[in-house]
Amino acid sequence: MKSYLAAALQMNSRPDLEKNLTQAEELVDLAVRRGAEVVALPENFSFLGEEADKLANLEAIATASEKFLRKMAHRFQITVLGGGFPIPVGDGKVANVAMLVDPHGGEVRYEKVHLFDVNLPDGNTYRESETVRAGTALPPVYASEELGTLGISVCYDVRFPELYRHLSKKGAEVLFIPAAFTAHTGKDHWQVLLQARAIENTCYAIAPAQTGLHYGRRYTHGHAAIIDPWGVVLSDAGTEVGLAIAEISPDRIYQVRRQMPSLEHRIFG
């Protein structure tokens, strides 16, 4: 594994597939011009709108999202993660799929397991399970001699530490945590959860995010971030469209794991 720059993109996706992909491409281009070799896009990067609109345009969203990720990886010769987009699975439901593509055409997919069914104090109710079929498989890792071992998750997964323990046991050194975190929960929980997952697994966390108003009353928190294995926030995108970018260093991983070898001290699991 070498040292390299990674970027976590921060988007304001809307119910407009074409405009979202244009915004995403501009941000990928910006990240690459700043030296990033790994670029991660947030959950719902290609479409963020009412569920009925998403289902009505499902085939177009799924096809365009996959094509876009492959195009970015090939055009810029980078490894790119699309943090979540809908794929039809039948019975009127979709899978929320994160897809990693490398510049050589390699691909890894993960179907989001934990679905966001909550009633928030701000009056918003979310029922992801009404249209999304939960994945049934543990998330994969992507192993690369140059980039290290990368673990994949999506948004609400961040509240379930056992998923990240699985990834660290599989050798993960970097955790992708793409999200469309709500503004209400994000202000209290987003950063602390990211830091917890990084610290307890002595991994980097790369967390692209959605930000701002998307439609109706749907606001997201922003603050795409990259966090080191000690829990230090290396880069935070704030609340504007843009990106967080930072170095991923194997020396830092090894240093923290020597100083705090907690993965070696596990008793249960």
Cα first-last separation, the chain: 26
Q: Is 19 a catalytic residue?
A: no
- The residue annotated as part of the active site, out of 37, 43, 66, 111, is 43
State mean pLDDT over 179-201.
97
Catalytic-residue membership of 155: yes
In this prediction, what percent of the chain has a pLDDT beyond 90? 95
Query: What are the tokens at 168?
Result: 């660290």
Residue with tokens 């790369």: 206
Q: What is the pLDDT of residues 30-64, one digit of tens each?
A: 999 999 999 999 999 999 999 999 999 999 999 99
Question: 117 by DSSP, 3-state: which?
Answer: strand
Identify the structural domains of the chain with CATH numbers, from first to last: 4-265 (3.60.110.10)
Q: State what percent of residues in the chain have pLDDT above 70.
A: 100
Tokens of 34: 């700043």
Listed in sequence order, the DSSP H helices in the chain are: 17-33, 51-56, 58-76, 161-169, 183-201, 250-259
pLDDT at 204 over 90: yes
> Residue 69 region, left (φ>0) first, then alpha (ψ -120 to 50), else beta?
alpha
Q: What is the mean pLDDT of the chain?
A: 97
* Backbone angles phi and psi of 243, in degrees to 5: -160, 155
Q: Which residues pair with 95 in a beta bridge?
A: 87
Q: Rounded to whole angstroms, how far apart are CA atoms 79 and 82?
A: 10
- Residue 107: per-residue pLDDT: 97
Active site residue 203: no
Token couple for 172: 């993960």
pLDDT-derived band at 124 (thresholds 50, 70, 90) equals confident
Report pLDDT for 1: 96
Mean pLDDT of 230-241: 98
Q: Which is the catalytic residue, given 37, 54, 66, 155?
A: 155
* Rama region for 223: left / alpha / beta (φ>0; ψ in -120 to 50; rest): left
Catalytic residue among 54, 111, 112, 173: 112
Listed in order, strand segments (DSSP E) in 42-167 are 79-90, 93-101, 107-111, 117-119, 125-127, 141-144, 148-152
Q: Which residues contact 264 (CB under 8 A, 6 or more apart)?
A: none
Question: Is it the case that residue 120 has pLDDT exceeding 90?
Answer: no
What span, in angstroms and rounded, lies between the C-alpha atoms of 245 and 251? Answer: 18
**Residue given tokens 């930072």 in the structure block:** 246
Note the pLDDT tens digit of each residue in 127-166.
999 999 999 999 999 999 999 999 999 999 999 999 999 9
Of the pLDDT bands very low, low, confident and very high (cuts 50, 70, 90), residue 203 is: very high
Dihedral sign (CA 161, 167, 172, 177): negative
* pLDDT confidence band for 214 (50 / 70 / 90): very high
Predicted pLDDT at 123: 75
Sheet holding 141-144, edge to edge: 141-144, 148-152, 174-176, 204-207, 225-227, 233-236
Reported as half-sphere exposure (CB side, CA atoms, 13 A), residue 266 has a value of 11
